C-alpha cells in the first residue's frame, strides 16, 4: 500500500487518480501512525517551501518523514515535495528543509527577457545515472511548473536533468529517497511509467506484488 502524505499543500487528487490508473493500492492520511504502515510514501507539494515546512512541523510530520526514510522504505517527493527533501531553500528567506538529500533550493535565474518564470511546460529529460526509477524507460518530455530548483546538490544523486536556462535536477535519488521536480501524474506516458517504477520498488520490496 502506498501512503500519500496529506499536510495541506499537495496535489492529492491528481496523484491519487494516477495511482488509480496504475491500479496501485493507496491511502491518503495526515496521521503518522497510519502513514508508517505504508510500503512507500509519496510527498506531493504545491506552493511555498516555508509554508510547507511550517505545516509539516505543525502536524508533527518532519521527524516522522526522517524516521521513515531512515527505516529504508521508499520515499518519493514530487515537485515542491522533492525540494523539501533538501537541506534548505532561499524562498521567502532561508528555511530549513528535511535534510534527507544534500543541496540548496534557489530561484531559477532569468537568462533573457523572454524567459518566463515560473517555468511552466514540457521539457525533455536527460538520463544521467542508473536508477530503479528509470528501469525500462527512454528519455522523453515531462511537465514542469516551478520557480525554484535544486542547486549545490551532489551530482551523483541527480538521476535525470532538464534544461531551462540552467541544468535543473529533475529526477534525484539516494538509496531509498527519491524526488521528481516535475509532475509525473501530469506527464503523460513517461510520468506514469516513472510512478509505476516507484510503486513497483515499494510494493515488491514488501512482497505485495
**Positions marked catalytic:** 79, 183, 185
Residue 155 to residues 68, 86, 166, 187, Cα–Cα distance (Å): 24, 14, 14, 24
What sign has the CA pseudo-torsion 52, 54, 59, 64? positive
Cross-strand partners of 16: none
Q: Which three cell numbers stand for residue 70?
A: 531512515
Work out the number of other CB atoms within 10 angstroms of the CB of residue 60. Answer: 11
Q: Which three cell numbers stand for residue 37?
A: 504502515
Give Cβ neighbours of residue 166 (< 8 Å, ≥ 6 apart): 108, 109, 111, 149
Amino acid at each position: 500500500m502506498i501512503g500519500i502524505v496529506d499536510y495541506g499543500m499537495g496535489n492529492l487528487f491528481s496523484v491519487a487518480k494516477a495511482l488509480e490508473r496504475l491500479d496501485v493500492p493507496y491511502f491518503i492520511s495526515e496521521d503518522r501512525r497510519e502513514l508508517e504502515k505504508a510500503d512507500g510514501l509519496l510527498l506531493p507539494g504545491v506552493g511555498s517551501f516555508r509554508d510547507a515546512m511550517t505545516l509539516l512541523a505543525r502536524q508533527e510530520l518532519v521527524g516522522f518523514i526522517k524516521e521513515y526514510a531512515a527505516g529504508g522504505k521508499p520515499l518519493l517527493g514530487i515537485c515542491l515535495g522533492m525540494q523539501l527533501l533538501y537541506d534548505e531553500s532561499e524562498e521567502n528567506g532561508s528555511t530549513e528543509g528535511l535534510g534527507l538529500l544534500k543541496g540548496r533550493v534557489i530561484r531559477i535565474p532569468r537568462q533573457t527577457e523572454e524567459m518566463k518564470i515560473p517555468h511552466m511546460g514540457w521539457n525533455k529529460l536527460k538520463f544521467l545515472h542508473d536508477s530503479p526509477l528509470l528501469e525500462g524507460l527512454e528519455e522523453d518530455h515531462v511537465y514542469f511548473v516551478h520557480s525554484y530548483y535544486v542547486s549545490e546538490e551532489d551530482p551523483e544523486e541527480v538521476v535525470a536533468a532538464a534544461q531551462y536556462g540552467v541544468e535543473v535536477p529533475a529526477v534525484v535519488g539516494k538509496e531509498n529517497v527519491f524526488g521528481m521536480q516535475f509532475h509525473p501524474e501530469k506527464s503523460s506516458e513517461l510520468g506514469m511509467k516513472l510512478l509505476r517504477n516507484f510503486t513497483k520498488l515499494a510494493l515488491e520490496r514488501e512482497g505485495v506484488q
